[in-house]
Amino acid sequence: MKKDKKKRKAETEGPDTPSTSHISSNPMEKKKQKRAVDKERRRVESEKKTEAKQVVVSSELKSNKSAAISPTTSGLPEFHIAVFKDLAAAEASIREAAANSLVAELLEVQKAYDILENKEVVEGQLKLEAEKDDGLNNCAPSLRYAVRRLIRGVSSSRECARQGFALSMTVLVGAVPCIKVDALLKLIVELLEISSSMKGQDMKDCLLGRLFAYGAIARSGRLTLEWTADKNTPYIKEFVGSLVWLAKKKLYLQEPAVSIILELVDKLPVEVSLNHVLEAPGLKEWFESAMEVGSPDALLLALAIREKTGVDNKDFGKLLPFPYSPSRLFSVEHLSLLSNCLKESHFCLPRTHSVWYSLVNILLPENVQQDFDPSAALNSTRKHKKGRKGSSAEEDIEKNLKNFCEVIIEGSLLPSSHNCKNLAFNVLLLLLPKLPTSCIYNVLSYKVVQCLKDVLSAKDTNLFKASQYFLREFSEWVKHDDVRRMAVIMALQKHSNGKFDCFTRSKTVKELMAEFKTESGCMLLIQNLVDMFLDEARASEETSDQSQTTDDNSEIGSLEDKDSIGAVGTSDFLKGWVVESLLNSLKHLSLDTNAKFRVQREILKFLAVQGLFSSTLGTEVTSFELEEKFRWPKSAISSALCRMCIEQLQLLLSNAQKGEGPQVVPSGLEANDLGAYFMRFLTTLRNIPSVSLFRSLGDDDEKAIKKLQAMESQLSRQERNLGPGIAKNKLRSMRYLLIQLLLQVLLRPQEFSEAASELVICCTKAFRSSDLLASSGDDEAEGDDSPEFMDVLVDTMLSLLPQSSAPMRTAIEQVFKCFCEDVTDDGLHRMLRVIKKDLKPARHQETDSENEDDDDDDVLDIEEAEESDEAEMDETAERYEHADDSETVVGVEGVSSELPVASDDDSDEGLDDDAMFRLDTHLAKMYNAKKNQAEKPKVVKIFSSLAHAFVNPHTTEGNEQLGQRIWGILQKKIFKAKDHPKGEVIEFPVLKSLLERNLVLAAKPFKKKKSASSLSKKKLSAALNRYKMINSLAQSSTFWILKMIDLKKRPESELEEVSCIFREKLEGYLDSKSTRMKCEFLKEIFKRRPRIGYPLFGFLLEKCASAKLQFRQIEALELVFEMLKSFVSSNPDDNSHFAKLGSHLAKLGCLVNVLLKNMPDKASRRADVRKFFGKVIQVLTDLEQRALFLEALEPDCEAQLRDMFPALNQ
C-alpha cells in the first residue's frame, strides 16, 4: 500500500511540477505556490480518470463484440452478459425478468455445449475468466463465468444486487444439474474469502455474500436431490456447518443463518434432520454454549428441529428439557434457564425475534380458543377455582402462560432496560390473537400494569409511544367482545387501585366502559363490578351458600374474622370507583324502557344493600320473598362509602324521575317505576331480622321514615288509578320528593324529621282522600286562619333547599313545576326575598370595602312599606323560552353538613348557588302558568329581586350559570317584552326609588380592592366583565323605568322630581371624577325622553360653562347639542319650545364665550369644540335665531367666532 501511494505520488508529480525547494520563504508566496501545485495535481488526476473510463468502455465494447462473435466462431448460442446489470435493479419485476432471461440463455448455451464433440477448442477460445480447476468441469465457459460472477455479485452492496444475484443463483442452480454442490461450496469460500486484514464494510459484504449464496443453495432444492441420490452425502453436514460458522462469526448473522437452516429442514425428511443436520460440525457446541452466551437463535433452531422431528434428543443440550414436553418447557425452573437467551433477543428491535413466535405457538396452540369456555372467562381473576369444571389441557395452558408471564415477562424483561420493556410489550401483543379470555388477568398482571402506569405518566420517555400502541391494540382486540373488555377493565383497575386513567393521564378505562351499550353487556359489567366491590378473591374459603330468611338465622363468620381480612381487602378508592362506575354505565345505553329499567333495578339493589344495610350475622343473606341472595364484603365498608352509595342511589332515582313516566311491562304485573320498586325493596329488607340499617336512628327519624313510607304507598296507589295528566304528574313528583327526603333522613339523621312531617301534612292537604286523612291522623277541622297549603309547601321546600343534595333539589324543582299554578302571592314574595338574600358573605372582608358592600346591598331594594301596596298583584311574565330552563343542572357536591337546620323565621337563609339557581328556574316556570302577564305590576317586584340577586357579588360570583340565567330573564322577559306594567297601577315612589338606585349603579366606578395586585389577570378580567354587565343592567333598567313613567300622564310635581334626580346626576357628572356615568347613556336618555331634557337645558348650560373638569366639559357639549336638537325636532306648531330656546340663548352665548377664551390644549379636544360651534350655528340658523345668539356673545369672542366660520359674515 505504501509503494502504491509513493507510485501515485510520483505519477502525480510530473517533471514540470515545481519542487518544494524552490518555494519562497514568504508565507504568502508559499500559499500561492501551494495552490498552484494542488491545482495542477487535480488536473492530472482528472485526466487520468477520464482515460481510465475510456479504457473500460473500450474493453466492454470488445467483450460485447467477442460475445456476439461467439456463435459464429464456437457454434454456441449467444450469451448477453449485459443482463447482469438488470439483476441489481430496484424494481423486483425487472430483477425477476433478468434472472429468467439469464437462466434461459445459459440453459441453451449448456445444451449446445453438451452436444459438442470437441469441447477443448471452445474452452480455449472463450474462457471468460473461467478456470479449469473451479470444479465446474462439465459446464460451458459461459456458465462457469456466470456462476462465478453470481457468487461475486451477492457480495455487492449496490442497490438490490444481493437480492437479484441470489435469485438468479437459486434458479440457475436448481435448473442446471451439472453445477455440482461441492464446487459451489468451494467457490463461495474462495471467491468470498475473509482474510484477517479485512475490516469494516469489506468484511460485512463478504459475510453477507456468503449468507445470500447459502440461502440460494438451500432454496434451489439441490441438497434434497443430493440426499435422494446419496443417503450418505456429506454436503448437507458441510452446508449446515458453514451456516453455523457464519452464525458464530457475527451476531446479526445468527437469525438469518438459522432461518436458512430451518428452510432446509422443512424440505428434508425427519431422518435427515437427525442424521445430517444435528450432526453438522459446530452445531452441538453452539447448543451447549447458548445458555451461557445467551443465544435466542440457537434456541429457535432447537425448538424448530424438535417440532419437526418430534423426537427427544440430548444434542440440544440444556436448551430443551429431556424428556421434552410443553409443561416441562414452560416450567419455572426451565424458563429461568432460558431467560438469558430470550432477554438477548432485544437486539433486533423494533422487529420481534422469531423465537418468540415459536414459543407463542407452543404456548397457545391453534385450537386453544375452541377449547376454552368464554362464560368462565372472568373466573381467572379470582384466586379460588371452586366450582369450576375444566379439562387438564386448559389448566396446563393457563399454568404455562402464568409461568411464562411471571418468569420471562415480569421477572426478566420488565426489570431490565427500556429495550427489554419494549420487547415485553411486543411479546404480550403476540399472545393476543390466540389468548383465551380467562388468561387476560395473567397477561395484564400487577407488574405489567405498574410498568404501564410509570411509562404513561411521564410522556418524555422512549417507551411512551410503545405503551400507547400496546393499549390501543388491546382496546382494538376487545372492541367487539364484552367478556374480553370486562376482563381488561378489571385487570387495569384492580392493579392500579382504580386510578389507571388518573395515573396514565388517559381515557383508556373510560372509553372501554363506554363500549357497554347492550343489556347483556351492561349486566356483565354490573356483575363484575359488584364482585370487585365484594372482593371475592379474598374470600376464597368462605362458604358458598348460606341462607338467611325472616325465620331462620345462621351465623357466617365472626367480627374477628372480618377485622383480620379487612387489612387485605380492596381499598376504599377502588370501591368508590366501582360505586361511581355503576351509575356512569347508564350514560351510553341505547335500550328500550323495559331493558333500561332492568339494568337500573340491578344497580339500585346493589346501592341500597351496600349503602343502607348491613348484615349482623354474616356476609350473605338470602330472601325467599325476593328470591335473591344479598352479599356484603367480609370487612365492613366505611361510613364514607355508605354515604357515597346513598348519594349515587339518590342520583339514580333522580335520573329515573327525569326520564319517561312509568310504563307497564308486557306481563302487566308491575310498572317500570324505579321509585316504587325501591320502596318495596326497602320494606322487604327491613323486615329481615338479621339485616339492619347501617346506622341507628333516633325516635324522631324512625317516625319520619314510617310516615314517609306510608304516605308514598298511599300516593302510589292513587297514581296507579289515574290516567296520564296533570294530577298524575303531581302525584309522581311528590312521591319522588318523599323518597328523596327519606334517603336524606338516612343520610343525615336528626336534620330532616321535622321537614318530613310537614311534607306529609302538605301531601294530606294536597291530595285529599279518605285513606290519606285516616293515615295522617289529623282530624282537626281547618279554621279560617289556617295557612294556605301552598304557603306551607313553599316554606317547607325553601327550608329543605339549603341543606339538600342535588337530587333532592331536583325533586323539589319537579314539585314546583307541577304546583306552580297554585303558588300564592305570599309564597312568591318569600321566594323573591330568598333570591335577594345575601347568601354567601365573604369570609374575609376588608374594612375599606364594607361601606361599598352596604351600598351594593341597598341597590335596587324596595322598602317593606311599599311591598304592602303590592299585595294584590297577580303573577306575571311570559314563558321563558330558553330550553335550559326546563332542565336541571344537578350538582355533584352537596351542601356542607355543618349548616344548621333552618327555622320558620329564617327559612330563606343559607341557600347556596345551586339552590338559588333552582329558585330562579322555579320562578320562570311559575310565570309559564299564565300568558300575557308582562303588563302586570308584579313584574316590578320580580325585576327588583332578580336585579338585586344579579348585582349582589355573593350571589353570582363563582356561579356564572346562575348569573347568565338571571340576565336572560331580565333582558328577554322584562326589558324586551312587548308589554310593560301599566303606569297607573304602580305607585310613583316605587318607580322613583328604582330610578335613583339604577342611576347610582350606572355611575358607580370600578374599584380594585387592596388585594387586587395579587390577583391573576384572569380574575381581574372576570371582575371587569362583571362590572360592565352590571353597568349595562343599570342602563337598561333606567330606560325601562322611564318608559313606565311615561306611560301615564304624570302631574308636574312628579315630573319635577324626575328632573331633580337627573339634575343631581348631571351636577355630579360635571364636577366629580369618581362618577362613571357614561355621556352616551345620558345622551340616549335625552334623545328618547326629550321631556326630561327641556327643564334641564338651562341648568346644563350653566354647569357646563362653570365645570371644574375640562374633559367632562367637552364631553357635555354632546349633551348640550342633543337637547338643542330636541327643540328642532319638536312639534313645529308648538311655539313654546322656541320661546324656551330664546330664553336660553344668553346662557348658550356665555358657554361659547367661556370655551373661546379657554380653548383646550389638546388638538382632539379643540376639534371637538369647533365641531360643536359649527353644529350650534347650523341649528340656530335653521331656527332663525342666529342673530340673537351673536348678540349674546362678547365682541372679541364674536370676532373670533367669525374668523372660524366665515359664513357668519354673510
Residue 147 neighbours by CB distance under 10 Å: 25
Q: Flag whether pLDDT at 973 surpasses 60.
A: yes
Q: Flag whether pLDDT at 245 surpasses 80.
A: yes
What integer pLDDT is reported at residue 407 of this predicted model? 94
C-alpha cell at 790: 301552598
Q: Could you tell me which of 582, 575, 551, 688 has the C-alpha nearest to residue 638?
A: 575
Spatial separation of the C-alpha atoms in residues 66 and 591, rounded to whole Å: 86
What integer pLDDT is reported at residue 65 of this predicted model? 41
Q: Which of 446-460, 1120-1134, 1141-1155 has the lowest mean pLDDT?
A: 1120-1134
What integer pLDDT is reported at residue 121 of this predicted model? 57
Confidence label for 1135 from pLDDT (cuts 50, 70 and 90)? low
The dihedrals phi and psi of 630, each to the nearest 5 degrees, come to -115, 140
User: Each residue of 565-624: pLDDT tens digit?
Assistant: 333 345 788 999 999 999 988 888 888 888 999 999 999 999 999 999 988 887 888 888
Spatial separation of the C-alpha atoms in residues 954 and 838, rounded to whole Å: 6
Highest mean pLDDT among 195-209, 699-713, 1036-1050: 699-713
Peptide bond into 365 cis (omega under 30): no
Q: Which of 1081 and 1210 is assigned the larger pLDDT?
A: 1081
Spatial separation of the C-alpha atoms in residues 1114 and 1172, rounded to whole Å: 9
Q: Flag whether pLDDT at 825 surpasses 70.
A: no
Q: Which of 1036 and 872 is assigned the larger pLDDT?
A: 1036
Confidence label for 530 from pLDDT (cuts 50, 70 and 90)? very high
What integer pLDDT is reported at residue 711 of this predicted model? 92
DSSP 413: I
Confidence label for 1153 from pLDDT (cuts 50, 70 and 90)? confident
Q: Which of 944 and 718 is assigned the larger pLDDT?
A: 718
* Mean pLDDT value of segment 1010-1024: 69
C-alpha cell at 158: 449496490
What integer pLDDT is reported at residue 47 of this predicted model? 65
Q: Which of 424 and 9 is assigned the larger pLDDT?
A: 424
Q: What angle do CA 1002, 1007, 1013 make, to 5 degrees?
A: 155
Query: Residues of the chain with pLDDT > 90: what percent?
Result: 19
Q: Could you tell me which of 680, 658, 523 has the C-alpha nearest to residue 602?
A: 523
* CB contact set of 1060 (below 8 Å; sequence gap of 6+): none
Q: Which of 241-245, 361-365, 1116-1120, 1127-1131 has the lowest mean pLDDT?
A: 1127-1131
B/e letters for 234-246, b = 16+ CB within 10 Å, e = fewer, are: ebbbbbbbbbbbb
Residue 654, SS3 per DSSP: helix
What integer pLDDT is reported at residue 895 of this predicted model? 29
201-209 long-range contacts, Cβ below 8 Å, gap at least 24?
Answer: 201/157, 205/155, 205/156, 205/157, 206/155, 207/246, 207/249, 207/250, 207/253, 208/154, 208/155, 208/162, 208/253, 209/151, 209/152, 209/154, 209/155, 209/156, 209/162
Q: Flag whether pLDDT at 914 surpasses 60.
A: no
- 13: left (phi > 0), else alpha (psi -120 to 50), else beta? beta
Q: Flag whether pLDDT at 626 surpasses 80.
A: yes
Confidence label for 892 from pLDDT (cuts 50, 70 and 90)? very low
Answer yes or no: are the C-beta atoms of 1166 and 1155 closer than 8 Å: no
Confidence label for 357 from pLDDT (cuts 50, 70 and 90)? very high
Highest mean pLDDT among 197-206, 424-433, 825-834, 1159-1168: 424-433
Peptide bond into 1095 cis (omega under 30): no
pTM: 0.67
Mean pLDDT estimate for the chain: 76
Residue 16, SS3 per DSSP: coil
DSSP 18-77: PPGGGS-SSHHHHHHHHHHHHHHHHHHHHHHHHHHHHHHHHHHHHHHHHHHHHHHHH-PP
Spatial separation of the C-alpha atoms in residues 566 and 571, rounded to whole Å: 9
Can you give the three-state secondary structure of 736-805, one letter per residue? Answer: HHHHHHHHHHHHCCCCCHHHHHHHHHHHHHHCCCHHHHHHHCCCCCCCCCCCCHHHHHHHHHHHHHHHCC
Query: Residues of the chain with pLDDT > 70: what percent?
Result: 73
Q: Which of 243-257, 696-710, 869-883 has the lowest mean pLDDT?
A: 869-883
Answer yes or no: are the C-beta atoms of 1039 and 1081 closer than 8 Å: no
* CB contact set of 782 (below 8 Å; sequence gap of 6+): none
What integer pLDDT is reported at residue 833 of this predicted model? 57
User: Each residue of 478-497: pLDDT tens digit?
Assistant: 988 999 999 999 999 999 99
Biggest alpha carbon distance in the chain? 145
* Mean pLDDT value of segment 261-282: 86
Residue 1210, SS3 per DSSP: coil
Spatial separation of the C-alpha atoms in residues 1195 and 1199, rounded to whole Å: 6
User: Each residue of 358-401: pLDDT tens digit?
Assistant: 999 999 987 655 445 554 545 544 444 444 444 678 888 999 99
What integer pLDDT is reported at residue 660 of this predicted model? 55
* Mean pLDDT value of segment 232-260: 90
Helix, strand, coil shares, percent, the chain, to 5: 70, 0, 30
Q: Which of 5-9, 182-186, 826-830, 1107-1111 has the lowest mean pLDDT?
A: 5-9
Spatial separation of the C-alpha atoms in residues 566 and 572, rounded to whole Å: 11
Confidence label for 978 from pLDDT (cuts 50, 70 and 90)? confident
C-alpha cell at 587: 350514560
C-alpha cell at 969: 330573564
What integer pLDDT is reported at residue 213 of this predicted model? 92
* CB contact set of 558 (below 8 Å; sequence gap of 6+): none
Number of H helices, E strands in the chain: 58, 4
Which helix (H) or strand (E) segment is 622 a member of? strand 620-623
* CB contact set of 758 (below 8 Å; sequence gap of 6+): 792, 795, 796
Q: Flag whether pLDDT at 984 surpasses 60.
A: no
Q: Flag whether pLDDT at 1130 surpasses 70.
A: no
DSSP 127: -
Confidence label for 274 from pLDDT (cuts 50, 70 and 90)? confident
Spatial separation of the C-alpha atoms in residues 617 and 555, rounded to whole Å: 5
- 90: left (phi > 0), else alpha (psi -120 to 50), else beta? alpha
Q: Which of 737-751, 1004-1018, 1125-1139 has the lowest mean pLDDT?
A: 1125-1139
Confidence label for 835 from pLDDT (cuts 50, 70 and 90)? low
Spatial separation of the C-alpha atoms in residues 616 and 743, rounded to whole Å: 21
Q: Which of 487 and 851 is assigned the larger pLDDT?
A: 487
What integer pLDDT is reported at residue 484 of this predicted model? 93
Spatial separation of the C-alpha atoms in residues 534 and 530, rounded to whole Å: 6
Q: Which residue has the cell 382632539?
A: 1164
